[in-house]
Amino acid sequence: MIVLKLGGSVITDKDRPETLDGEALERAADAVAAALDGDIDDLVVVHGGGSFGHHNASEHGVTTTEGTRDAGAALDIHGAMTTLNRFVLGRLLERGVEAVPVHPFSAAHRDAESDLELPTGQVATLLAEGFVPVLHGDLVAHAGAGATVVSGDELVAALARDLEAERIGLCSTVPGVLDDEDRVIDRISDYDDVEAVLGESEATDVTGGMAAKVQALLALEAEASIFGLEELDAFLAGDESGTTIDSSET
């Protein structure tokens, strides 16, 4: 089973509110459809927000830790994400992919310790029945805080852990994690080794950019890869792509 995140920064124009990067989304959908026509059977897709969730969340002052109890704000943020989800589903369906939505706001929550609880029974059943579940960064109920943002990266980690994913890929707008001379770092096994070069996203982003991504992936037992759109086909074909995050080496 593969868990693939399509970064919001890839499939949208992150600098212009609620604007798709249509070409990039089509290219990603082509790669997913081709992989499913080939050797891959079980694929869970997660997508991020890019210009569809981060702007709304930022306007309402909502992050992964700062919540809201305003239903209007919640619907604004969740609505932006479901709008993007419809676009992603549409592009996949056009290519014959049996893609269906799973909206985390209706399924997941954070407990009083802020730990994410994501039920995965419906995802596992959808996979077994031949569907491609498509989740997305969203809002989730958060005990003691109202509703907070859950990033696609957190969802990837939770899904990979629960469903024992064999491969985990994060397709982002960069070709991998870059060092201080903008070269792709091949392998990361210790956060301290790379902390100095990890930053926030350059665009409006309420979920922590590359630093949060690397942290979420290092917490997993399985290896994960961060790579650019050019390498999506190669990743889906089983090649090592971009930066490999592997905590088992420590």
Ligand X SMILES: C=C(C)CCOP(=O)(O)O
Nearer to ligand ATP, 118 or 198 (CB): 198
Report the distance separating Cα 247 and Cα 250, nearest Å: 6
Tell me if 14 is assigned to a ligand binding site: no
**Which of the ranges 5-13, 25-33, 87-95, 115-123 carries the binding residues for ligand ATP, by CB under 6 A?**
5-13
Which of 42, 5, 38, 35 minimizes the C-alpha distance to 163? 42
Tell me if 137 is assigned to a ligand binding site: no
Report the distance separating Cα 147 and Cα 149, nearest Å: 7
Report the distance separating Cα 179 and Cα 185, nearest Å: 6
Residue 169 lies near ligand ATP (rule: CB under 6 A): no
Residues 106-145 that bind ligand ATP (CB under 6 A): none
Report the distance separating Cα 53 and Cα 94, nearest Å: 24
Residue 169 lies near ligand X (rule: CB under 6 A): no
Nearer to ligand ATP, 43 or 150 (CB): 150
Report the distance separating Cα 38 and Cα 149, nearest Å: 35
223 Cβ contact list (under 8 Å, min separation 6): 167, 168, 244, 245, 246, 248
* Phi and psi angles of residue 160, each rounded to the nearest 5 degrees, phi first: -60, -40
Residues 142-161 that bind ligand ATP (CB under 6 A): 152
Among 6, 51, 53, 167, binds ligand X (CB under 6 A): 53
Q: Is 72 exposed, middle or buried (0-12, 13-18, 19+ CB in 10 A)?
A: exposed
Residue 37 lies near ligand ATP (rule: CB under 6 A): no
Residue 203 lies near ligand X (rule: CB under 6 A): no
Nearer to ligand X, 173 or 243 (CB): 173
- Contact residues for ligand ATP (CB under 6 A)? 7-10, 48-50, 152, 172-174, 177-178, 197-199, 201-202, 205, 207, 209-210
- Contact residues for ligand X (CB under 6 A)? 8, 48-49, 53-54, 57, 77, 81, 137-138, 149, 151-153, 206-207
